[in-house]
Structure formats: structure tokens, C-alpha cells
A and B are shown apart, each in its own frame.
Chain A
């Protein structure tokens, strides 16, 4: 397919791949990036919230021409039962700043733009090309890739695997295992289109202000999962995701789940009358620190979702993807500048650098959170939301019952559902996992 040899081949044009490619190309490396979609972004799915800080480090002037939707001024957390939600809302005019901290984005147009910047930096980007396997030499060092194009073998000193969560190539080459069903969530999402004035009125927004809602509770039917509603300019991204192992166990269907979420009395008025223009699905790494595979080897590194880098508590996936891509790119550049070979020993620099960054520090902090939420899903996603909702209703409904009795009823409902030791144990386990 291409005769010449490259310094690096990047597989995939998502956030991690683009970050790696732009970092290396800007430093003068000869970079080939391969993407199986018709264009960069055509296979990529995300909520999506963009964190400016990380992109700014890669493309300082991104605000000039990147297709951004709304800057986020309000974050809502909803704990839901079937008819109610208890909310924690944080809104601040501080987020109406010159260089906003977070934006909602739509991945297909955004990735197309990002890929344009990667090409401007000097990388060769070839789309509509599926990489079918990694090519190794006699000693097992990765020396290139094979594609589905005629005569499609290309060689490079190092291959950056930014192939996404399922990680087909890496697992085929036995660099790591297929993610386990209990360590990935399946999320389904719809794009609901409405006039921008309608969206602004319904979410209490002016101009390009945006709101994002993260929701948990009975909407996931006792499975470990979350729903989300993000306001874009002229559409609303709405979706819900749960662990694959939970779908497997319960026999719940993803489409029924999103349909129920849309019909919830707290959600339905937000999307009423909207035209749905797309239905998508995607896997999200949820295993946290303990699910991170080997990150480098002879002639290869793995970045982003393929490396299972996602902070599920703070909803930071693309952020860690960009960060890991950039760090990998910098490490490769450093090895290259020293004229050292791309061996596992030398590429260990990537691991050293990522360990020192916030990426690993954050994931380590929450290393016990997945196990807690994944094994206690009935309590955290079904029992507690219902108890809290009932307690709130008991608190606000005026019906002549003395307040002392009302408090007793609420307390009794918690103890009956979880017992004293259960309540204390849950609080303790949660605090310990959070710490």
C-alpha cells in the first residue's frame, strides 16, 4: 500500500489517536494515521463533554474554529425513582468566562475538525482503511500493520494503538485480553433535535450557555448504570448505559431502557416534540485502575479507551484519552530524539510519564469504586434512590402528621430496607472507596 517506512503509525482517529498523532507530527516525526471510518469521527460516539484544559495543550487556539456546542454553566445530578428525582444542581456565572472550562460537543463534526488540525501538523491521515492485524518480526517486535487495502502492509518504528475500547488488534496479537463484561458499560444514545430557543427555554439558558444532567437510580432497573442529558445548540444528547455483565444477567434490552428513561416524568418534558435523528451505541471502559492492561511493549504503546483509561466517577474518558495520547507521543519523540530503538525497555518511558500524571493518580484514587458499585448495584441504584425520594416527599408534603413522626417514618424506612449494620457498612465502604 505504501512503500515508505514511518516513524510511527497511529491506529484510529478518535481523541487518543488524534492527540498522539498531532503531538508527534508537530515534533517533526513522520506519522501515518489509519482510520476505518469514511472520515475521522464517523465511527466515534461520546456523550459528549469536552474538557478544554487538555485540548488547549494540544491545540491552543481551538476556540477559533472548533465546532463547539455550548459552554457548560450548570451541572445537575439526579437521583431518580420511577416518578421523581432528587437533584443536586450547581450553576455558576463563573463559568461564563473568556476561556470556558467545559463544552458540550458532537463527536462526528468535532473529530473531523480535530483531524484537520492533525493533518495541518504534518501527519498523513488515511481513512476508509481497516487495520486487520499487527505485523511482527521474528523476535515478536511489532514492526507495522496489515490493512484491508490491496498489498496493504505498512512499516513503522512504533505503532500507537488508539483503536478504541474493544481493542481488537491488541487482543488478536495477545498484547492484552478482551475486556470483561463486568468492566465495560454499554451506552445507547439518541440525538433529539429542537429549535435552539426551545432548548434554551427548557434548560433556563441564554446564548451559548449549556447544561448537563447525569442521572442514576431506578432508571437502570437495579443494574449499575447512569443516564445523561446534555444540551447542545440545536439538539439534546440523551442516553443511558449499564454494565454489559448486568445486561447479560438481567435480559434487559438497551432500547427499552432508553425508551423508559425518555418517558420518565422528569425527562419527557425536556425532549417533547423533538425529532430524533440518530441512534448510536458504544462501550465505555468502567473497570478503573485495576483493569488497566500492559501499556507498552516492543514496538507498540496503547492509549485511550483501548488502554481502559476512563474515570467513571468524574465522567472523564476523552480527557484521559487525549492526555494518554499526548504523553505517548512525547515519550516516543524522546526515545526517537535519543536515536534509541522502540523497544519495550525504552517505551517504558510512556508508563513512567503517565504514572506521574493526573491520569494514574486519579484512577488510583478510585481504584475500589468499580468493585463497590458493581457488586452493590441493587443498593446504590435501586434501594437508596427510592428511600431518598420517599424521605424527600415525606419532608416536603404537608399533611398534618407531626414532624417528629415523619422523621421516625423516614428513619424506619432506611433501617427496614438496609438494617443498621447495612447502612453503616455502606457508608463506610463508600467513604473508603472514595478516599
Chain B
């Protein structure tokens, strides 16, 4: 029997978290492209904060505000050259109260 599908909005989950956003300084950048690579497409679903989304032209874009700094996209997308990955500046980014 298939598992019952439960709807989930990741925004509601991220809403609980504390962040100090470093405005205008994204710590992850997607390499400019016309057609997204398989690695970039995988980030659409693998990112636990759903930071990656496709724009109207079908390219993959990132909004880092909700990033939980897990590093999954680095593991998938840095070796292929699809993304550039750094940590946020000291003190910025997600601030776990519990962790």
C-alpha cells in the first residue's frame, strides 16, 4: 500500500528558525547557465530548505535566506562546478537555538 501523502510547506518549518541575514551577500552562488545540469536539477528536491527554484526561463536560482547550512548542495553541486559555496560571514546565517 502506498504511504498516505501528507502535504508539507517547508516555509512553515523554516519560520520557526532564527536567522541573521547578511543582506546582499549570498554565500552560495549558482553558475550562470542556460540549461540546468542534472546536478542542479537534483538540488531542487534535495535541498532541505528548498532554497533552489526554477525561474520562468527554466534556470535554477538560489535564495539563501532560509539556508540551514547543511552542505548538501556543496556535496552535489561543487565537484561538477555548478555552484560556488562558502560559509556565511562570521555570526551570520542560521542560528540554532537547539541544534
- A-side interface residues toward B, CB under 8 Å? 36-38, 41-46, 82-83, 106-109, 111, 127-130, 132, 147-149, 164-166, 168, 178-181, 184, 186, 188, 190-191, 218, 221, 235, 244, 247-248, 251-256, 259-260, 263, 276-283
Q: Give the CA-CA distance A181 to B39 in the complex, in Å.
A: 11
Is the CB–CB distance between B90 and A108 below 8 Å? no
Q: A177: nearest residue on chain B (CB-CB)?
A: B79
Is the CB–CB distance between B48 and A184 below 8 Å? no
Expressed in whole angstroms, the minimum distance between the Cβ of B84 and any Cβ of chain A is 11
Is the CB–CB distance between B99 and A45 below 8 Å? yes
Given contacts A41-B96, A106-B99, A148-B89, 16 further A-B contacts (CB under 8 A): A45-B99, A107-B99, A108-B96, A130-B89, A168-B85, A168-B87, A191-B98, A218-B3, A244-B76, A248-B76, A253-B48, A253-B50, A276-B16, A278-B97, A280-B68, A283-B72
When distances are taken between beta carbons in the complex, the residues of chain B under 8 Å from A147 are 90
B90's partner among A129, A165, A260 (CB-CB below 8 A) is A129
Q: Give the CA-CA distance A235 to B97 in the complex, in Å.
A: 13
> For the complex, is B4 an interface residue (Cβ under 8 Å from A)?
yes
13 contacts across the A-B interface (CB closer than 8 A)? A38-B20, A42-B95, A107-B96, A109-B98, A168-B86, A191-B98, A248-B42, A251-B45, A278-B17, A278-B96, A279-B68, A281-B49, A281-B72
Is the CB–CB distance between A254 and B48 below 8 Å? yes
- B-side interface residues toward A, CB under 8 Å? 1-4, 6, 8, 10, 13-14, 16-17, 20, 42, 45-46, 48-50, 68-72, 74-76, 78-79, 85-91, 93-99
Is the CB–CB distance between B98 and A281 below 8 Å? no
A149's partner among B4, B8, B90, B93 (CB-CB below 8 A) is B90
When distances are taken between beta carbons in the complex, the residues of chain B under 8 Å from A184 are 75
Q: Give the CA-CA distance A291 to B68 in the complex, in Å.
A: 25
Expressed in whole angstroms, the minimum distance between the Cβ of B95 and any Cβ of chain A is 5
Q: Give the CA-CA distance A191 to B98 in the complex, in Å.
A: 8
B45's partner among A111, A218, A247, A259 (CB-CB below 8 A) is A247
Is the CB–CB distance between B98 and A277 below 8 Å? yes
Q: Give the CA-CA distance A276 to B79 in the complex, in Å.
A: 35
Q: Give the CA-CA distance A164 to B48 in the complex, in Å.
A: 18
Expressed in whole angstroms, the minimum distance between the Cβ of B67 and any Cβ of chain A is 10
Given A148-B89, A166-B75, A179-B75, CB of A252 within 8 Å of CB of B45? yes
Is the CB–CB distance between A181 and B13 below 8 Å? no
Q: A172: nearest residue on chain B (CB-CB)?
A: B86
The 7 A-B residue pairs whose C-beta atoms are closest, nearest first, are A128-B91, A166-B71, A279-B13, A107-B99, A281-B48, A281-B70, A254-B48
When distances are taken between beta carbons in the complex, the residues of chain B under 8 Å from A168 are 74, 85-87
Q: Give the CA-CA distance A148 to B1 in the complex, in Å.
A: 53
Q: Give the CA-CA distance A188 to B17 in the complex, in Å.
A: 13
B87's partner among A109, A130, A191, A276 (CB-CB below 8 A) is A130
Expressed in whole angstroms, the minimum distance between the Cβ of B75 and any Cβ of chain A is 5
Q: Give the CA-CA distance A218 to B2 in the complex, in Å.
A: 10
Q: A48: nearest residue on chain B (CB-CB)?
A: B99
Q: A46: nearest residue on chain B (CB-CB)?
A: B99
When distances are taken between beta carbons in the complex, the residues of chain A under 8 Å from B97 are 108, 277-278
Is the CB–CB distance between B90 and A130 below 8 Å? yes
Query: Which of A41, A111, A244 is the most central at the interface, judged by chain B CB atoms within 10 Å of its CB?
Result: A244
Given A166-B74, A263-B6, CB of A36 within 8 Å of CB of B98? no
Given A36-B87, A148-B90, A247-B46, CB of A108 within 8 Å of CB of B76? no
B8's partner among A37, A252, A259, A280 (CB-CB below 8 A) is A259
When distances are taken between beta carbons in the complex, the residues of chain B under 8 Å from A178 are 74-75, 78-79
Q: B4: nearest residue on chain A (CB-CB)?
A: A263
Expressed in whole angstroms, the minimum distance between the Cβ of A322 and any Cβ of chain B is 17
Expressed in whole angstroms, the minimum distance between the Cβ of A103 and any Cβ of chain B is 15
When distances are taken between beta carbons in the complex, the residues of chain B under 8 Å from A277 are 16, 97-98
Is the CB–CB distance between A44 and B99 below 8 Å? yes
When distances are taken between beta carbons in the complex, the residues of chain B under 8 Å from A166 are 71, 74-75
When distances are taken between beta carbons in the complex, the residues of chain B under 8 Å from A43 are 69, 93-94, 96, 99
Q: A277: nearest residue on chain B (CB-CB)?
A: B16
Is the CB–CB distance between A283 and B75 below 8 Å? yes
Given A248-B76, A254-B46, CB of A38 within 8 Å of CB of B95? yes
Is the CB–CB distance between B87 and A255 below 8 Å? no
Is the CB–CB distance between A181 and B68 below 8 Å? no
